[in-house]
Structure 1
Amino acid sequence: MKHCILPAVLLCMTLLAGCTGRKVDLSNVTESTIGVNGDGSVEEVVIESFDKEYYSLSDLTAYVNKQVDAFNQANPQEQPKDKKSDDEEITAVSVHYVETDPDAKTAAMALGYLNMDIYDAFNETDFEFLSMEEAASDERIADIDGLVEVKSGEETTFKDLSEHKHLHLIYTDSSVRIQTNGKIMYYSKNVSLVDDHTVQTSDDPSVILFK
């Protein structure tokens, strides 16, 4: 059996790359999307073509689980001291589902990551999830201008926003759809705002600020 979908998804996708209440909800997305929460955790839904007769859901599922299990074994996470035997183990990466849509001839997988560093390590990408203090010391971000305020449409600079300590910052230089659990407040002018929680970035360096 040929595994043609997941190698492309996991190894060759170059798209890769506070509000701490509700988690980002990707249940209704119709294209590949990365979800970022205010606590730094990441959700991802990848949707790919699944239109060959030799593609198999069972093989696809086994492949995804094998990749995730291998990564988790190589990156064990500390468990709570009061963890009970029947409590779910905390892992770096979790598989929420792998499924197909025969009518659309697509396959979708949903994964969860404890944080952005784990997301980067698993997908070999270079995203950044930073506090405003951390971003201020990052030379790629500190001098950025052309940040558009969602409310007014006016442009400002990162330096002018650096005192907004309550905001979270995402940095990427990859074209990808990103959804946040908190409302987006500012975004780079090379980014397309889809709605209050969603943007489409380009291959140019991009910053998204959300609360």
Structure 2
Amino acid sequence: MRHRVLLAVLLCMTLLAGCSGRKVDLSNETVSTIGVNGDGSVEEVVVETFDKDYYSLTELTAYVNKQVDAFNQANPQEQPENKKADDPEITAVTVQYVESDEDAKTATMALGYLNMDIYDSFNETNFKFLSMEEAASDKSISDMNGLVEVKSGEEKSFSDLTEHTHLHLIYTDSSVHIQTGGKIMYYSKDASLTDDYTIQTSDSPSVVLFK
């Protein structure tokens, strides 16, 4: 998956050496995390070990920017009609920063995506960001059981929750650390809730419902 691009670049360096509402805040995350806002926009931090003398932050930054630039050129976005000459261009993916921490011996890159479809396309993943109405039409979700209510700890089926049309739903079949833009209300029982806004999913199909 291309969201593992940072790890792939570090491996390449090794081989070369031998040969709406609350916005997510990922600034304090120390592990790779996907942040999903209520408007469907996605933010991501990827944290990997960066502990070899021959690792180059300059080379890493150039590589990440090259990948993002190529994707944006292949996926141009519509610009506002009233866009001024000095207004920033709207792009599918943005590079927020690429940095290293010498003490922690890690490198971190932070990216932003206009929506989940773009995130999936760039990273070759299978995530979904859906309204409850959209999720009800998706058999892989509508037949789900074992959804834990945070408040009570009770397990419910998706069909029990369809009246909660104000909730947003994230679906994934990957093990990933997710931060949501609103308080988590329900989640698949195979996932592990960290706090009101953060959860670790398993490799099993999982859903997270948040305000």
* Same-fold status (TM-score > 0.5): yes
The structure with the largest helix share of the pair is 2
- 1:101-154 Cα offsets, whole Å, 9 max, x none, are 001110000000000000000000010000001100101000101100000101
For 2:22 and 2:131, the matched residues in 1 are separated by 19
Q: Which residue of 1 aligns with 2:132?
A: 132
1:154 aligns with 2:143: no
Q: Output aligned runs, 1:37-56, within 5 Å.
A: 37-56=37-56
SS in 1 for 2:169: strand
Q: 1:44 to 1:155 in 2, by over 3 A?
A: same
- Contact 1:120/1:127 (<8 A) preserved: yes
Give the structure 1 partner of residue 27 of structure 2.
27
Post-superposition, which runs of at least 4 consecutive aligned residues in structure 1 deviate over 4 A?
none
Equivalent pairs counted in the alignment come to 199
* Structure 2 equivalent of residue 12 of structure 1: none
- Cα shift readout 1:3-60 (whole Å, capped 9, x = no counterpart): x962627xxxxxxxxxx22311001001000000010000000000111111101000
8 Å Cα contact 1:5-1:48 kept in structure 2: no
Q: Which residue of 1 aligns with 2:93?
A: 93
Q: 1:116 corresponds to which residue?
A: 116
TM-score by length of 1: 0.92
- SS of equivalent to 2:199: strand
- Tell me if the contact between 1:36 and 1:42 (Cα under 8 Å) persists in the aligned partners: yes
AA aligned opposite 1:41: S
Gaps of 5+ in 1: 10-19
How big is each residue's C-alpha offset from its partner over 1:75-124, in whole Å with a ceiling of 9 and x where there is no partner? 00000000000001000000000000001110000000000000000000
CA distance in 2, matches of 1:142, 1:187: 14
Q: CA–CA distance in 2 between the matches of 1:21 and 1:141?
A: 25
CA RMSD of aligned residues (A): 1.4
Q: How does 1:123-202 map to 2 (within 5 A)?
A: 123-202=123-202
Q: Name the structure 1 match of 2:15.
A: none
Q: Distance in 2 between matches of 1:148 and 1:167?
A: 15
Partner of 1:59: 59
Q: Aligned-pair distance for 1:168?
A: 0.3
**Partner letter of residue 118 of structure 1?**
I
Distance 1:207 1:82 in 2: 38
TM-score by length of 2: 0.92
